[in-house]
Amino acid sequence: MNRTSILFFLVTMFSALTLMAADPPAVSEATEACLMCHETLHPGIVGSWRESRHSRITPASATAVTGLARKVSSSTVPAEQAGVVVGCAECHMLRPDEHADSFEHNDYRIHIVVSPDDCAVCHSVETEQYAGNIMAHAYANLKGNALYQDLERNLLGMPEYENGKLSFKDPDPEIEAQGCLYCHGTKLEVTGTQTRETDFGEMQFPVIAGWPNQGVGRVNLDGSLGSCSACHTRHDFSIATARKPYTCKECHVGPDVPVYKVYSASKHGNIFHSQEKDWDFNAVPWTVGEDFTAPTCAACHVSLLVDPEGEVIAERTHSMNNRIATRIFGLVYSHAHPKIPDTTVIRNKDGLPLPTALDGTPASEFLIGPEEQARRRAEMKTICRSCHGSSWVDGHFARYDQTHDATNAATLEATRILAEIWENGYATGPAAGGSPFDEAIERRWADIWLFYANSIRFTSAMAGGGDYAVFADGFYSHSKGLAEMHQWLKEREPGDQSD
Amino acid sequence: MNRTSILFFLVTMFSALTLMAADPPAVSEATEACLMCHETLHPGIVGSWRESRHSRITPASATAVTGLARKVSSSTVPAEQAGVVVGCAECHMLRPDEHADSFEHNDYRIHIVVSPDDCAVCHSVETEQYAGNIMAHAYANLKGNALYQDLERNLLGMPEYENGKLSFKDPDPEIEAQGCLYCHGTKLEVTGTQTRETDFGEMQFPVIAGWPNQGVGRVNLDGSLGSCSACHTRHDFSIATARKPYTCKECHVGPDVPVYKVYSASKHGNIFHSQEKDWDFNAVPWTVGEDFTAPTCAACHVSLLVDPEGEVIAERTHSMNNRIATRIFGLVYSHAHPKIPDTTVIRNKDGLPLPTALDGTPASEFLIGPEEQARRRAEMKTICRSCHGSSWVDGHFARYDQTHDATNAATLEATRILAEIWENGYATGPAAGGSPFDEAIERRWADIWLFYANSIRFTSAMAGGGDYAVFADGFYSHSKGLAEMHQWLKEREPGDQSD
Amino acid sequence: MNRTSILFFLVTMFSALTLMAADPPAVSEATEACLMCHETLHPGIVGSWRESRHSRITPASATAVTGLARKVSSSTVPAEQAGVVVGCAECHMLRPDEHADSFEHNDYRIHIVVSPDDCAVCHSVETEQYAGNIMAHAYANLKGNALYQDLERNLLGMPEYENGKLSFKDPDPEIEAQGCLYCHGTKLEVTGTQTRETDFGEMQFPVIAGWPNQGVGRVNLDGSLGSCSACHTRHDFSIATARKPYTCKECHVGPDVPVYKVYSASKHGNIFHSQEKDWDFNAVPWTVGEDFTAPTCAACHVSLLVDPEGEVIAERTHSMNNRIATRIFGLVYSHAHPKIPDTTVIRNKDGLPLPTALDGTPASEFLIGPEEQARRRAEMKTICRSCHGSSWVDGHFARYDQTHDATNAATLEATRILAEIWENGYATGPAAGGSPFDEAIERRWADIWLFYANSIRFTSAMAGGGDYAVFADGFYSHSKGLAEMHQWLKEREPGDQSD
């Protein structure tokens, strides 16, 4: 325990004793009524809430904070919310007329699904930023893209083998909810009302199709998009949890986006896992070198970072993609980030709803240009320089750019082999009216750009996790996939038995 | 540090100081004799033991505890054990005549392998429950099933390539011990006596085949089944360790049972990993919302859970499967849980020792019925409701049931393709006297139900870990496996070169 | 909080208060000058350094420590370093004439890349040991081996599909740096000088090819090999971090060396993950049973271990391979460890730079003999016995030896199938002038020994992680790979359509 720790201990002790003397902030009458039953019915979530800031601070005192430590971004909070802590009623009774699932419950009008637009009462800036994030549009971007729907059907659809043909029917909605939409978000819909026998007699509740779901692009019953609790896990809505990579892991573990795996095996992940228990994940702003000494996902993409003198290194943003110059995730090549979060409008030069053509040409008019890319890159580099000298940072990004070039060039070779397969009629491609995702060889092609090229690029982005660039779904698998595609083609060519 | 923490700190301080004044509980003379040498010989395990409750509490004081906090389930403990702490001698000298490995050692009669029946002296209820657990029978359920033995031989057996044929000989016992039996448990057997030169002169020790092993279904030298230390890791036998998912991970990491991976990427796992250092894993009973706010494996399957008012949410059970209505693990389809833990008695309608037939028909007379399934489901739902409303819970299980239907239907299509392959003689199936597990195409079929369908179902069960339902051994691999099987068949059909 | 903890708390409190009174050790003028700007420019690394021992202890006081607690191994430290804490200048200005990247920077002569030979000023023994470690030679061992270079080209090289042929060009240096050399280390080279606009005006910096890199075999600008910061992560250079398996994971996660994955799912890993937050990872020496109760990678391979009475169990070594009797990593068979760290000198009986021949014959004259193997085995067993009785330890190693025999025998069968494929001209092997790594079937063969056999052997070595021996890249995949190779061969044989 060093001097700082001792001081911290004494100050905390003193503050705590002071707090013991002060009156705790008020809980609303409505929330008290909720707790009366639900504290026993759902002790887990009430326990989480009791540990949250929401249960201990009123918006009035939160809005009184000035400067970078301020957590509430709305300039004012309505009087009825401001004076009480943020309890059950403060969220589940907000804006009742906007929510299709509002229902009468013991003389209160409650809605089950709290939405970003509810959170916006106090956190308006973050809500607005998030709405501009590609993640908020994850539902429509998947469901409104004919090509992705074809892929989804060929993955999740019910297989049917009849008369020597294998086909996939449209997926069941529950299977979709469990599969792609677990992360992308479901579209919620009130489909009726249900009567349930409870400890307090018969009660009526709305029936909600697509529920439960906490996907990042959930279409809510008030029309808003997303779910804040995807990352700010209910009901403690903890900044600390959202800042830890375990949260991002839920949807970014791989092999299509092996971000958590790569991070965890990188030097950054090494430091994080070794030292996380000694770091302060709650501090706002988040001070590099004091609160933590290696970045988590949030540090580079979301959080408000300052140096020990309080100078801002990176502004807080909930538009997570706005420090990302190049989209690593290949569709089917990596590319400049889309201009707007609704990607259903994108058409490549061949008219397909993809940000690149099969020959690699980007759909540039829908993607950010070099200037915006440079701005984003510069912002990211500022964060890197918190711990690395310029020659380190520049060296890193030169390598990263080269990795994009190399993996995209390799994807082009794989696609040229597939094109020849299609041309020769060994498989049925789009030009002949077939799906590019329903035959075994087409799926092998997909492995190459969807798993291996992505894995290599994410590894490069995070400067490490050596195995993920080579043996663990990296170059080893990448080149093997190419060799197998090549062999498959040669086997089918007349007069050529071997490869 | 909040008020509770300060109070806790002061109370702990006071209790600790009080304890310092009190006499420590007695260590038996025999244990003192053991420690004399073994404390230096094996400091690691003695260190673990010194940190354990066993080293600090006598059964007499443990049995004096009443109510839910009681950890000793036997109503009485024999006088010779009751008054001393549970040290080396108290376990390794228990019931000497029952253990085939009992031997004279410095005038004491010691046995090396402590068994569940030894633990039963204090923990009789848990021992009895565990004996009814399917895990206790893991050895015989594997070794006494001709079909599983065929699979085991085709995995672990020594390959032999002679005269153009590839075959697998019976696996070496050490390879088995290292492979399947690491988790299932070995059958221990005293095969002789060995003389060893030690620091204290020449000594004799029993030689035990199958040792070391801590598998859940180990056949012990007193005839009892299992190893408590599989989860209650020696020699601190900590409840806290057993309650953490790292323990279950040892045998449930995948890809056949990717439970830990799925949990770790689920919202439950996200909360656990982010907050575990602040939770109390030692409290008995375990209070939802106070001691922890998201379940680990133990919370749903084993531990005694109460709400903050002390009302029981779930009884403790060491028959881990008795809240499991449907067995997720496909053999080859998922199915109602077996009625009794000895699964070697099961025969499907085709006479095979499998809980389902290859066409999906369950071997219902050996499996629990809808009523028992409903009871188990209801018990599990009670736990879910600690943190989730009824519409959440019901929505979750509706989706889960649909996932079983969908994956089983898909396994049926895969099996129909394989059946056609067998019928056409492209591979040799059981009807023609062949193994269903020894040819490449059969192994591709096994991937589909053993890895991918299981992965999808476990992901559904734990409501999350999106990637594990789709890209990480989920629907992506599942449909690709089907497409490859289909292509393989088409390639072999006369007059059909392409798929 | 037990008595020891209370005592510890009081002592720490007292010591801390004493320290507050004492003068902090001196920081050199040069380091103060560095900090003036760099504390704000790079708060992350300065923050790490402030938490390090280096920032709080002078070499003079560190060399005054006697006995096993001594951390500085050099008998004396030059006067100019001895009296000040180890700050920026003390490392980055050491031995300026030896470093090709030394440059004038605000009137100081600085070099960017600190090397093992710089660290040797205080840590000479560890530096010397490390130089004898095979890891220190990882760059040349890869780049100076024609066969490995062929493999590397077929993995990382740019694929080119022209005129029906698929080939791989030499990999781009940045791709190599990102791939194999991320772990093996790059060869650093000053290629010029760059002028950069900084907050303090125009400045000149060296341009270093191969930078950044922290690989274990990095070729430094002073000619020394390796990077201490690969494990002793900059800039806290923490013993605690180096002792945690997260550090080793960076390069040993698999599937070629799935060490971290296996460890993490082993009983040792189970205990570590469950209890790590209560262990003391900083203590020197490291006391088994007091500071920790289950080994990490460092415990068995690197750290100075003692028992609670202070008796040495294992000496500290930074020649990490010198308790390793058998090299698990198959090339292509597992084998006795190489005699010297430079493996480019090895030739098998067929003249190939491999430690075994394709028929399994070891290149014995380059490998340690049975006597040295026995010595290493004995040393390792001493560590095992800290927690395990002799019958446990002997049983473990008997099983481990059998696993080597079994997996090597299986690799031989796979190689015999490949040899037949080559002989029949179905693929082009080395005898016909082809690469053994460029065709799909050859890559399937590589999976068997490089991924599956290694996975099984590492699982055996760490006595656990059941799934990694069977379903997760273990025997399941191993036997499936063989079945696929066999099928591939049969398909090509005249008059044989089925397998």
pTM given for the model = 0.95
Kindly tell me if the per-residue pLDDT of A111 is higher than 50: yes
Single-letter amino acid, residue C32: E
| Contact criterion met (CB below 8 Å) for B80 and B91 | no
Q: Is B395 on the interface with A (CB under 8 A)?
A: yes
Q: What is the pLDDT of residue A499?
A: 41
Mean pLDDT taken over chain C: 94
Name the residue of chain C whose CA is nearest to A403's CA. C175
Q: What is the pLDDT of residues A375-415, one digit of tens each?
A: 999 999 999 999 999 999 999 999 999 999 999 999 999 99
**A384: part of which helix (H) or strand (E)?**
helix A370-384
Q: What is the pLDDT of residues C220-261, one digit of tens each?
A: 999 999 999 999 999 999 999 999 999 999 999 989 999 999
Q: Across the interface, do B426 and C480 touch by the CB < 8 Å criterion?
A: no
Q: Across the interface, do A43 and B307 touch by the CB < 8 Å criterion?
A: yes
Single-letter amino acid, residue B53: R
Q: How many contacts (CB atoms, under 8 Å) link A and C? A: 205
Convert chain C into a string of H (helix), E (strand) and C (coil): CCHHHHHHHHHHHHHHHHHHHCCCCCCCHHHHHHHHHHHHHCHHHHHHHHCCCCCCCCHHHHHCCCHHHCCCCCCCCCHHHHCCCCCHHHHHCCCHHHCCCCEEECCEEECCCCCHHHHCCCCHHHHHHHHCCHHHHHHHHHHCCHHHHHHHHHHHCCEEEECCEEEECCCCHHHHHHCHHHHHCCECEEEEEEEEEECCEEEEEEEEECCCCCCCCCECCCCCECCHHHCCCCCCCCHHHHHCHHHHHCCCCCCCCCHHHHHHHCHHHHHHHHHHHHCCCCCCCEEECCCECCCCHHHHHCCCEECCCCCEEECCCCCHHHHCCEECCCCCCCEECECCCCHHHCCCCCCCCCCECCCCCECHHHECCHHHHHHHHHHHHHHHCCCCCHHHHHHHHHHHHHHHHHHHHHHHHHHHHHHHHHHCCCCCCHHHCCCCCCCHHHHHHHHHHHHHHHHHHHHHHCCCCHHHHCCCCCHHHHHHHHHHHHHHHHHHCCCCCCC
Interface test with B, best of C264, C399, C401 (most B CBs within 10 A): C399
- Which residue, A414, A411, A413, A425, is CA-closest to A492? A425
Average pLDDT score over residue span C66-93: 96
Q: Across the interface, do C417 and B205 touch by the CB < 8 Å criterion?
A: no
Q: Is A14 on the interface with C (CB under 8 A)?
A: no
> Would strands A201-209 and A189-198 be described as parallel, antiparallel, or unpaired?
antiparallel
| Contact criterion met (CB below 8 Å) for C408 and C334 | yes
| Contact criterion met (CB below 8 Å) for B313 and B383 | yes
Interface test with B, best of C5, C476, C487, C488 (most B CBs within 10 A): C476
Q: What is the pLDDT of residue C498?
A: 44
Name the residue of chain A whose CA is nearest to C50's CA. A289
Q: Is B410 on the interface with A (CB under 8 A)?
A: yes
Q: Is A233 on the interface with B (CB under 8 A)?
A: yes
Nearest Cα of chain C lies from the Cα of B260 at a distance, in angstroms, of: 10
Question: Per-residue confidence at C497, pLDDT binned at 50, 70, 90?
Answer: very low
- Say which of B50, B159, B425 has its CB closest to residue C410: B159
Q: What is the pLDDT of residue B23?
A: 76
Residues of chain B whose pLDDT is less than 70?
A: 1-22, 465, 495-499
List, as ranges, residues 179-198 from A with C-beta within 8 Å of B. 179-180, 182-183, 194, 196
CA angle B151, B153, B155 (to 5 degrees): 70
Q: Is B495 on the interface with A (CB under 8 A)?
A: no
Instruction: Report d(CA B246, CA C272) in Å as an integer.
Output: 9
Average pLDDT score over residue span A60-69: 96
Mean pLDDT taken over chain B: 94
Structure letter (DSSP) for residue B389 = -
Q: Is A402 on the interface with C (CB under 8 A)?
A: yes
Instruction: Report d(CA A362, CA A348) in Å as an integer.
Output: 7
Q: What is the pLDDT of residue C24?
A: 82
Which of the other chains make 3 or more beta carbon contacts under 8 angstroms with chain A? B, C
Instruction: Report d(CA A120, CA A76) in Å as an integer.
Output: 11
- Which residue, C166, C147, C440, is CA-closest to A480? C440
- Which residue, B77, B81, B62, is CA-closest to B124? B77
Cα separations in angstroms, A464 against A270, A325, A329, B389, C249: 10, 19, 18, 42, 11
Question: Per-residue confidence at A464, pLDDT binned at 50, 70, 90?
Answer: confident
Q: Across the interface, do A492 and B471 touch by the CB < 8 Å criterion?
A: no
CB atoms within 10 A of CB B223: 11
List, as ranges, residues 42-61 from A with C-beta within 8 Å of C. none
Average pLDDT score over residue span A333-358: 98
Structure letter (DSSP) for residue B295 = -
Instruction: Report d(CA B420, CA B418) in Å as an integer.
Output: 5
| Contact criterion met (CB below 8 Å) for A375 and A442 | no
Q: What is the pLDDT of residue B463?
A: 86
Question: Per-residue confidence at C119, pLDDT binned at 50, 70, 90?
Answer: very high
Average pLDDT score over residue span C427-440: 96
Question: Per-residue confidence at A496, pLDDT binned at 50, 70, 90?
Answer: low
This model of the complex carries an ipTM of 0.94
List, as ranges, residues 157-176 from B with C-beta within 8 Å of C. 157-161, 164, 166, 168, 172, 174-175
Single-letter amino acid, residue C68: L
Q: What is the pLDDT of residues B32-60, one digit of tens each?
A: 999 999 999 999 999 999 999 999 999 99
List, as ranges, residues 125-144 from B with C-beta within 8 Å of A. none
Chain A residues with beta carbon closer than 8 angstroms to that of C44: 288-289, 293-294, 386-387
Q: What is the pLDDT of residue C466?
A: 72
Three-state secondary structure call for residue B122: coil
> Would strands C312-314 and C305-306 be described as parallel, antiparallel, or unpaired?
antiparallel
Instruction: Report d(CA B453, CA B255) in Å as an integer.
Output: 10
Write down the H helix ranges in B115-172. 116-119, 124-131, 138-143, 146-156
Q: Is the peptide bond before A159 cis (omega within 30 degrees of 0)?
A: no
Average pLDDT score over residue span A114-119: 98
Which of the other chains make 3 or more beta carbon contacts under 8 angstroms with chain B? A, C
Q: What is the pLDDT of residues B220-272, one digit of tens each?
A: 999 999 999 999 999 999 999 999 999 999 999 989 999 999 999 999 999 99
- Which residue, A52, C273, A114, is CA-closest to B293? A52
Kindly tell me if the per-residue pLDDT of A184 is higher than 50: yes
Please indicate whether residue B495 or residue C73 has the higher confidence score (pLDDT): C73
Write down the H helix ranges in B22-76. 29-41, 43-51, 59-63
Q: Across the interface, do C277 and A274 touch by the CB < 8 Å criterion?
A: no
Instruction: Report d(CA B388, CA B378) in Å as an integer.
Output: 14
- Say which of C385, C386, C487 has its CB closest to residue B440: C487
Q: Across the interface, do C410 and B40 touch by the CB < 8 Å criterion?
A: no
Q: Across the interface, do B440 and C483 touch by the CB < 8 Å criterion?
A: yes
Nearest Cα of chain A lies from the Cα of B484 at a distance, in angstroms, of: 5
Question: Per-residue confidence at A11, pLDDT binned at 50, 70, 90?
Answer: very low
Contacts of B209 (CB under 8 A, 6+ apart): B173, B188, B189, B190, B191
- Which residue, B439, B380, B451, B369, is CA-closest to B410? B451
Q: Across the interface, do A247 and B266 touch by the CB < 8 Å criterion?
A: no
Average pLDDT score over residue span A59-76: 96
Name the residue of chain C whose CA is nearest to A266's CA. C250
- Say which of B178, B425, B438 has its CB closest to residue C498: B425
Convert B348-364 into a string of H (helix), E (strand) and C (coil): CCCCCCCCECCCCCECH
Q: Is C69 on the interface with A (CB under 8 A)?
A: no
Lowest mean pLDDT among A136-145, C14-23, C75-84: C14-23
Chain C residues with beta carbon closer than 8 angstroms to that of B438: 483
What domains, with CATH codes, occur in chain C?
18-92 (no CATH), 113-230 (no CATH), 321-492 (1.20.850.10)
Q: What is the pLDDT of residues A315-337, one digit of tens each?
A: 999 999 999 999 999 999 999 99
List, as ranges, residues 92-121 from B with C-beta within 8 Å of C. 112
- Say which of B47, B256, B443 has its CB closest to residue C480: B443
What is the share, in percent, of chain C residues with pLDDT greater than 90?
92
Q: What is the pLDDT of residue B7?
A: 47
- In degrees and rounded to multiples of 5, residue C109 shows phi and psi of -105, 110
Nearest Cα of chain B lies from the Cα of C467 at a distance, in angstroms, of: 6
List, as ranges, residues 289-348 from A with C-beta within 8 Å of B. none
Name the residue of chain C whose CA is nearest to B203's CA. C390
Average pLDDT score over residue span A437-465: 95
Name the residue of chain A whose CA is nearest to C277's CA. A277
Q: How far is CA A441 from the centre of its chain?
A: 31
Kindly tell me if the per-residue pLDDT of C446 is higher than 90: yes
| Contact criterion met (CB below 8 Å) for B243 and B298 | yes
Nearest Cα of chain A lies from the Cα of C82 at a distance, in angstroms, of: 23
- Say which of B13, B240, B438 has its CB closest to residue C274: B240
Write down the H helix ranges in B42-198. 43-51, 59-63, 79-82, 88-92, 116-119, 124-131, 138-143, 146-156, 173-178, 180-184
Question: Per-residue confidence at A108, pLDDT binned at 50, 70, 90?
Answer: very high
- Say which of A44, A155, A205 has its CB closest to residue B391: A205
Q: Is A86 on the interface with C (CB under 8 A)?
A: no
